[in-house]
Amino acid sequence: MKKLVMIGNGMAGVKTLEELLQRDNTRYEITIIGDEPYPNYNRIMLSNVLQGKTSLDEITINDWNWYTENNITLITGEKAIEIDRGEKIVETEYGKEIHYDELIIATGSSSFILPLPGSRLEGVVGFRTIEDTEKMMQAAQCKTKAVVIGGGLLGLEAARGLIDQGMEVHVVHLLPTLMEQQLDAPAARMLKKDLEKQGMKFKMEKQTEEILGETHVEGIRFKDGEELACDLVVMAVGIRPNTALAEKSGLEVNRAIVVNDYMETSDPSVYAVGECAEHNGMTYGLVAPLFEQGRVLAAHLTEIKSPGYQGTVLSTQLKVAGCDLFSGGDIHEDDETDAIVVQDAVAGVYKKILVKENKITGIVLYGDAGDGNRLFSMLKNETDISDFTTAAVFQKAGEEDEADLLAEMPAEETVCGCNGVTKGKIVQSILEDNLTTYEEVKTCTKAGASCGKCQPMVEGILALTLGAGYDAAAQKNGMCECTALTRDEVVAEIKEKGLQTPQEIRYVLEFKNKEGCAKCRPALNYYMRMLRPETYADDKASRLVNERMEGNIQKDGTFSVVPRMYGGTTTAEDLVKMGEVAKKYDVPLVKITGASRIGLYGVKKEDLPHVWEELGMRSGYAYSKSLRNVKSCVGSQFCRFGTQDSLRLGIRLEQELEMVDTPHKMKMGVAGCPRNCSEALTKDFGVICVDNGYQLYIGGNGGTEIRECDFVKIVATEDEVIAYAKAYVQYYRETGIYGERTAPWVDRLGVDTIKVMLQDEKQRTYYENRFTEAKDTYQEAWSAMLAKTQEKKMYEITRV
């Protein structure tokens, strides 16, 4: 058996081995040398880790078991330092000598760190590896201001992530427009405008001259003399192919390691693939061409004939900090091309198609990238567009069926750009492996396993391939990527098996990721606290950032502090206290909120604990998945139309129901008369006071999708209102999906189901008592925290 050694454990190299093993898994004894201490992971998804959308474990492509199962010897955390091509030996930094018959160099690339004065200071990082990402996340815990140098894709993703981590971020870019490799000026302007709305700040056409500081970053100075204070500098100005090892061994190196169509270097037993390889003068940094190279090399190493690698026409479809864009081919017109432009500034949509001799040569889409794959297919296939209309951006008259477009898509067309999966691969896997659901296709092919933008197309191909055998009802999704089990199935298993901790749940129920992910960690923490209020201790680390910080993160990276003010009422003492705190901590905005409370906006992250301590007031839970507020009018106390004391009832509801976690945020309203000044009919729970009592309503929503409440019944007393509200909230707690508002919950369960429960005294009392038991545990936790705070204050006074 021949010995195949690969230097590098990244996406392009491991993809090559995956393709090789599919073709022939008995030909080679394989060894991989990786300098990072991790199995193969998806570098593209590091921005999602930084943004808190996913965890490091979730971006692993091939876990440790994959190497064992495929008889691959994996050496991690160790660099290859020398290639002896005469003896065919690779030497590592710790003295290992590994013999090879065939060698693949897949060393990738490194962040380019500008050689500026101060670039070696602590606090200067690239954005390329897990280590870089962890450094940025750690910095965000104790630092407040970051500068990202580079306004390309990587820089903008880093900036978005650092904002989500609570930092104030400036992006410094040398050119007048962002992402100039993918976007023309109009699209780039729209992107910049959208990112500024998210709190991103820009310094355009600025050249950094020096990074300031003694031992740690303190700021940067531009060539024009302007200075900008910061604690963290992220270099995102490009990448540099890792070629030093190849160059040292005498291989031909230009910008990168020179290869032919079969990825052979100047030594026929040594190959290069990925970002470290140069083919016909081109180097590539996107996944699709690197995976194409891997397929070609795998065929060559298993002696399967292929036309070789012919280069790649590049396209980019991605979501930059939540903004959709697609770019392919040329992005700038010249004297020989015509441009068809569709722009809707109100909707934030821009589409430009470049045409030459009745063929598409370039595509720029912003805000709506849905046409990207179809148009790019036309570009690559040099489709004659004479028969296409331009009103719908090249759609044949009468052609609106997505299934027709998928049927016409060639097998070699890439569907999942993140993982380089073609339509042909998906169809082949569906037929050969009897796949029937999107989740099965994703697991088998990795299509949709990264950003997920291709899911609708993958589902369409699945339906098209299976035809009458496609079962739409079977396309259920698990509660997260870690498990195929739904929320209801997980909760049922917790009850049946008596599971006591999220860790136990993940192990017993065989979650793929035993550490959990960004979706299931907060969800399981919620379900456990809901099911076991007396015994389960809340895991604050599993909560979302706003809940951990006890404040809503604002677009500039600061936070809002909103103390509880029952029914919008307060005292002179509390008003004075809020004013003093606002002055002491230089709070830029003090505002009456829409929930009739006073909010302090623009509080710095490091000041949050001190602000809450000095206020000494209970949180208004303006950031939490729980009851946020009860909006009420003054009612019969003052209003001539008021039929009941709605203000008093609103305060009672707020006091009785506060603190307890729910699947999503909840808002309530109490109106003193049918004029409904407090807008109670679009709340999660609404009360309209009438002469003979109180009308109860459920399931309203006043957000982007308005849903008017459903009427339940009229009750006679305030105590009954409280009892019904408690039972309703507890029923929602026990049957709602984490992250699901009451409006879709009511639609999902059916309003009649909820009415039956509320109108059945036995069921209503059961859920009311369950809520009261849960509330007691939250109150105990609050009292314990107050006692600790008081002890700390007494200790500090004693010390003084």
Report the binding-site residues: 633, 639, 673, 677
Region label for 632, one of left (φ > 0), alpha (ψ between -120 and 50) or beta (otherwise):
beta
| Residues tagged in the binding site annotation for siroheme | 677
Residues 6+ apart with CB under 8 A from 199: 163, 169, 554, 555, 556, 557
Closest alpha carbon to 248 in 407, 98, 85: 85
- At residue 590, the 3 state secondary structure works out as strand
Q: What tokens appear for 191 in the block?
A: 């992107």
Q: How far, in Å, CA of 105 to CA of 117, rounded?
A: 33
Q: How far, in Å, CA of 336 to CA of 357, rounded?
A: 9
Handedness of CA 625, 629, 631, 635 (dihedral sign): positive
Query: What is the number of other CB atoms lying within 10 angstroms of the CB of residue 264?
Result: 17
Which whole-number Å values give the CA distances from 499 to 354, 507, 515, 526, in the listed order? 59, 10, 16, 14
Q: How far, in Å, CA of 10 to CA of 274, rounded?
A: 9
Closest alpha carbon to 331 in 358, 366, 374: 366
Q: How far, in Å, CA of 369 to CA of 35, rounded?
A: 37
Residues 6+ apart with CB under 8 A from 338: 354, 355, 356
Report DSSP state, residue 260: -
Torsion of CA 591, 592, 595, 599, to 10 degrees: 40
- H or E stretch at 667: strand 666-671
In 38-93 the beta strands, taken as DSSP E runs, fall at: 72-75, 80-84, 89-92
Contact 166, 551 (CB under 8 A): no
Contact 336, 361 (CB under 8 A): no
Q: How far, in Å, CA of 269 to CA of 122, rounded?
A: 42
- At residue 106, the 3 state secondary structure works out as coil
> Which position has the token pair 């009649």?
752
Closest alpha carbon to 431 in 467, 464, 471, 465: 465
Q: How far, in Å, CA of 44 to CA of 405, rounded?
A: 28
Report DSSP state, residue 239: E
Query: What is the number of other CB atoms lying within 10 angstroms of the CB of residue 43?
Result: 19
Angle at 125 between CA 56 and CA 36, to 5 degrees: 45
| Residues tagged in the binding site annotation for [4Fe-4S] cluster | 633, 639, 673, 677
Q: How far, in Å, CA of 501 to CA of 514, rounded?
A: 12
Contact 259, 281 (CB under 8 A): no
- At residue 427, the 3 state secondary structure works out as helix
Q: How far, in Å, CA of 242 to CA of 235, rounded?
A: 17
Could you tell me how many residues make up the chain? 800
Contact 302, 294 (CB under 8 A): no
> DSSP 3-state helix, strand, coil percentages of the chain (rounded to 5)?
35, 25, 40
